[in-house]
Amino acid sequence: MHTLIPLLSLLPLITAQNLYISHYSGYVAKILLSADPTTGNYTLTKGDTLQTCGGSNRLPAWITLDSSSRTIYCTDENWTGNGSITTISAPTDGKLKELATATTPISGVHNALYGKGFLAVAHYSASLITTWKLPLTNGAKALSTYGPYSLSGPHPNANRQDAAHPHGVHVDPTGNFLVSPDLGNDLVHVFAIDATSGVLSPCSSPNIVAGSGPRHATFKKSQTNRTVMYVGSEMGGTVTAFEVKYASESGAGCPSFNFLQGISSYPKNATAPNASKLAEVHTSGEFLYVANRVDKSFNGNDSLATIALDSTGLMTFKQLTNSYGTYPRTFQINKAGDKVAVGDQTTANLAILERDPKTGLLGSLLATLRIGDAGTPENENGLSAVVWDE
């Protein structure tokens, strides 16, 4: 006698992956991306939501997930009074829970983990960088403050470059150095990291083309073992590549940065459209990706650029793709390299794009979800950050 097993029971379970987003309305939320094995269609669903990171009176601007401790670090971009930093527990099978919060200087726009249990925060309007010992406790004080930095002199874009504006904090592949693009000063601050104490020691800063406004950076080791830093400039709509030359294998001393190349984030090295704003740069495999805001390249939607990297780290423009929304402030490529999560700030939607890991090309829209209230152009509202849970 044979027992008949329903066909559906033989099908694989629906595959799913979590993401986390922050919204300028004052909350962090879990998002579920699921795929139906029978149709191959993807769906995004909003899960647990936590009013946090300063709440409704604040502006959650950036989140970093430490997957090993299941902790989210959220910084608040509040422009008046004080800002805040909040740690959030993010269990894989439980609800988001606020763990601790501390007062910071205003306009914490970006953060990054570094060393043996430290967090660095870039404060755009306050013209400084703060560091924090982890785990964060309620009411904690900053470990150190670097700045406020002064404006080095008149810069071409007087309206935006009225002061020093650190816009990001990024750790190099060795873990021994931290860099911070300064939009106001057209340079990148560089620090040597003491991993045990969390102390940052200033090094010489590479300069970027005047008026371009460096905003974001990433690192990549080329096939020829050359370490390259790629800096995305918001106002110039350009990416600048520097070879990183380390003083020693041990990490002692400061690195030097040798200019390699600068290109536009548009086809044929075209000048960025008027009023457009580059947001982020990330690498995956032998490719670099750039988010372009306010270029309206796709019937009102903005764009992502794909740039191929050769064996030495030099760049060649490859593709311009629809961001499937407006003002793509944030995006992240998953570890498998087959999907890109794009946070379109003003339209407040999360878009998942397919990616070919071999060719680097971005493909069709797999899923999209409107999350909370839409924003208004050039204002701190709408979707602010997205990360894959991995």
pLDDT at 3 over 70: no
For the chain, the first-to-last Cα distance in angstroms comes to 46
Residue 218 lies in a domain: no
Give pLDDT, residue 14: 55
353 closest CA partner among 376, 317, 389, 328: 328
- What is the domain extent for residue 71? 16-148
Give pLDDT, residue 55: 65
pLDDT at 8 over 70: no
Residue 304 lies in a domain: no
Give pLDDT, residue 87: 99
Residue 290 lies in a domain: no
Give pLDDT, residue 315: 99
Find tokens 């406004």 and name the residue.
213
Residue 113 lies in a domain: yes
**pLDDT tens string 133-146:** 999 999 999 999 99
56 — pLDDT class (breaks 50, 70, 90):
low
Give the CATH number of the domain where residue 74 resides: 2.130.10.10
What is the average per-residue pLDDT within 80-101? 95
Averaged confidence pLDDT in the chain: 95
Give pLDDT, residue 11: 41
Residue 78 lies in a domain: yes
Side-by-side strand order, sheet with 277-284: 277-284, 287-293, 303-309, 315-322
268 — pLDDT class (breaks 50, 70, 90):
very high
- How many separate domains does the chain show? 1
pLDDT at 240 over 70: yes
Give pLDDT, residue 64: 99
Whole-model pTM above 0.85? yes
What is the average per-residue pLDDT within 302-315? 99
**pLDDT tens string 353-365:** 999 999 999 999 9
Give pLDDT, residue 150: 98
**pLDDT tens string 367-381:** 999 999 999 888 899
Half-sphere exposure of 281 (CA within 13 A, CB side): 33
Residue 20 lies in a domain: yes
Residue 62 lies in a domain: yes
Burial of 75 (0-12, 13-18, 19+ CB in 10 A): buried
Residue 42 lies in a domain: yes
